[in-house]
Structure 1
C-alpha cells in the first residue's frame, strides 16, 4: 500500500463500484501497481489549479453543511475532491456532473489534483507519528490512494492506468462481498489508527473501492502556554457556558472584513490553521457553515497578504469526531446515478466521511476517511484580539497552493 498523511489530521476517501459477487474464501492479494508510472505534474504546469482549489472550498463547505452533530463537524475538502476526481476518471458519458463539481475537465483536472497532491508530498512522513506523545516540530503530511478490486471483478484497464499515472494509486484484490480486510487495513494504516476501520459495508454487488487517505500531525510554530489555559465563556445556542480555553499572544496575521474576524496560527513551513469568527447577528453566527466558500477563501487570501501584528488569541481546545453522510450532497451534484461505464456498470450508493480533529496547546492531530460506494444498481492585552468564544470555523491549509486540507465547524467545545 502507499503511505498516508501525517500531522494532527487524517482523511481517507473511498469509492465503491458494484458488480459480481466475490468468492468468500479468496484472500486479498498483495498491493500491486498498474503497469504505468506516475508522472508528477508541477504546480506551474497545472492550468486548472485555481479552479480546482476553488471547487475544493465549495465541496468542503457543502460537506460541512451535511454534518448533524451538535458539537460540530470536521471534514477533509482535499480528500473528498481527490476521491471524487479518481471516481470521475471512469465516468464515461456521465462526466458532466464531475466536471461541474470538481472545477475542471479531463486531463486538466487530473493534472491539477496530481500537482496539489505532489505539493503536499514535501510534508511526507510516517502516519504513526499522529499517535506519538509529542507532535513533530516539522509538520508531517502524507497522502495515499488505492483501489481495491473484488476478486471476481474486472474493471477497465484504462481506468486503472489513469489512477496509477495521475494519482499513484496501487491495486489490491480482495473479497468485497463478505469482508473488507484491505479496506480496514488502509484506513488504519494511513490514519495512524485514528480511523481504525472503513465505513464501507461488504456487499456481493461491490466490484471495487477507491480509497484516498490523508493524515496530519503538526506542532504549532509557537505553542500556547499551558499555564494560561483555563475555563472561559463560550456561547452555545445562545447560552454562555464555560469551556477549556487556551490563550496566547502571537506575532501573526489577523484581518477583519464585513464583520468577520480571521486569525492565522502557523505550523512550520507553509502549513497553517486559519480561524474564522462570523459576524454577530449574522446567519453564520450560530451556524458558521452557512458561510459562503468564497468568503472563507477570501479571508485566507487576506491573511496571506497581511503583515504580522501582535495578536491575543483565545481558542477553545477542540476534540471533534464526526461521521458525515455525503449521499445527499452527491445526489445534488448529479454524481449519484452518473454513468460509470469507464469503470464498470454501476452507480454511487454509499458516501461517508469519518473525521477526527484534536487541537490543544501543543498543536493539531486530525484524521478522516472518506468513502464513496458504488454498487451495481487578565493582563493588559495587545490592541488586536481574536476571542473565539462563540461558534467558529477552522481550516488547515497549504498556503503554497491555497488547498484546504481540513475544515471544521466548532459549535460546542464541551462535547470533547
Structure 2
C-alpha cells in the first residue's frame, strides 16, 4: 500500500504546555471514566485505556461548539479552559522509549477542515492530516497506521468503515517495559485461581521484595515499578466482598496513592495475556454523551454537519515474569448529517448522447443517441 501523505497546519509547531496546565483535572476525569467503563464491562476479563478514549474525545472537542462541547466537558470532566494543554503535558510527561502516544486525523480527500481545529491538533496533539478515500481503502489505511503505532499488537481498529465516512480521529498508546524487580521464572508454578465460574489452575508468579504497599478496609494494593521509567502497575486485590470494578473507583485509587508505604511483600500474581474490544457509543450515551452521536451535533469547527457515528477501542495486554506489553487504540468515525443541496443540475429529459469510453486513452468503445427511450427496438432490424 502506498504511503499516505500527511498534511500539517501551516506555520504551527508543537506547543510547550504551561506549568499550570490542568493535568490534575484531566487525571481525575480520566480515572472516573475508567471506573464507569469498568462498571459496564460485559466480559470476564476486561481491558481499557481510559486515557486513549479521553485523548480521542479531547481532539474532537477542539472542533465542538455550544451544547455539544459542554456535554463532552461534563462527561469527560474536562476543565473549563479546555483540556488541550493538559493532554499535551501528559504526553510529554509519559512518552518515553517505553511509552508511545500517537494521534491521527484521517479525512476524506477534498474535505475542507477548519484551520483553527487543525492548529489545535498540530500544536497540542502532534497530529497531522492523512487524506484518504473512505469509499476505497479508508479502513485499510487507518488500520495500517494503528498497527505501526502499536508495534502490531493491534492489527486492526475498524473491521470496516462506511463509504460515507468523512473523518476519523484516532489515538494509539503502546507500552513495553520491564519490571524493576522481575519475577523469578523458576518460581512460577501452577496454582488455583478463584475465577467466578469455579477455580482453575494457572501459572502463578512469585516475588518477594521491598515494594510500595497499601491496605484499606476491604482491599490490599502493591505497586510494581518498571525499570528506567516513572511508571508502575498497581495491583489491587479485594479482601472482602468488593467486586473488581469497584477497586478502580477514583476514591479507591486516590486512597491507594495516599497510603502507599514501603513493605517487604511476598506477592503471588498470575501471568495474563488477553485483549478487549469495546463499542463506546452505547456506554458513553448511557453516561450522558448524546449530542455528539446525533445529527445536528455542533462540530462546525471541524466541518459543517458532522456527527460521531461510531466510537470503538481495542486493547491488549501481556504480563509475565519480565514485564508488561500493552497497547490500545481508540477511533471515532464521523459522518455528515446531511449533504447540502446540489449546485449542479442535469436532467436527461430531452434527446441526448452517450459514450462508453476508456478514460486513460479517451477511446470510445460505444457511442449512442437516445431520442426515444420508450422505443425498445431502437429501429433494430433483423438481418435476413
1:90 paired residue number: 63
Does residue 193 of structure 2 align to residue 219 of structure 1? no
Question: 101-110 or 174-183, which moves further after superposition?
Answer: 101-110
2:149 paired residue number: 190
Per-residue Cα deviation, 1:356-395 (whole angstroms, up to 9, x for no partner)? 0000000001111112222224xxxxxxxxxxxxxxxxxx
Give the number of the structure with larger relative contact order, counting CA–CA contacts within 8 Å between residues 6 or more apart.
1
Kindly state the Cα deviation for residue 250 of structure 1 after the two structures are TM-superposed. Answer: 1.3
Give the Cα separation in 2 of the matches to 1:73 and 1:89: 30
Does residue 330 of structure 2 align to residue 330 of structure 1? no
Structure 2: segments with no counterpart, 5+ residues: 338-384
Per-residue Cα deviation, 1:184-207 (whole angstroms, up to 9, x for no partner)? 221010000111122162223211
1:255 paired residue number: 214
Give the Cα separation in 2 of the matches to 1:260 and 1:248: 19
Does residue 5 of structure 2 align to residue 30 of structure 1? yes
Give the Cα separation in 2 of the matches to 1:85 and 1:27: 30
Does residue 262 of structure 2 align to residue 308 of structure 1? yes
2:87 to 113, 117, 123: 113
Q: Is the 8 A contact 2:218 2:241 kept in 1?
A: no
Does residue 15 of structure 2 align to residue 39 of structure 1? yes
Look up the SS of the partner of 1:142 in the other structure: strand
| Cα pair distance change 1:219/1:29, threshold 3 Å | closer
Q: Which structure would you say has the larger Rg?
A: 2
Q: Is the 8 A contact 1:29 1:174 kept in 2?
A: yes
Give the Cα separation in 1 of the matches to 2:238 and 2:168: 38
Structure 1: segments with no counterpart, 5+ residues: 1-25, 126-139, 378-416
Alpha-carbon RMSD across the aligned residues, in angstroms, is 1.9
Kindly state the Cα deviation for residue 113 of structure 1 after the two structures are TM-superposed. Answer: 1.2
Give the Cα separation in 2 of the matches to 1:207 and 1:106: 29
1:283-302 alignment runs, 5 A limit: 284=243, 288-291=244-247, 293-302=249-258
TM-score (norm 1): 0.74
Kindly state the Cα deviation for residue 264 of structure 1 after the two structures are TM-superposed. Answer: 0.5
1:153 to 111, 132, 156: 111
2:355 paired residue number: none
Does residue 233 of structure 2 align to residue 276 of structure 1? no
Question: 357-366 or 233-242, which moves further after superposition?
Answer: 233-242
TM-score (norm 2): 0.80
Q: Is the 8 A contact 2:47 2:276 kept in 1?
A: yes
Does residue 320 of structure 2 align to residue 360 of structure 1? yes
2:38 paired residue number: 64
| Cα pair distance change 1:178/1:202, threshold 3 Å | farther
**Would you say how many aligned residue pairs link Structure 1 and Structure 2?**
327
1:370 paired residue number: 330
Give the Cα separation in 2 of the matches to 1:193 and 1:292: 28
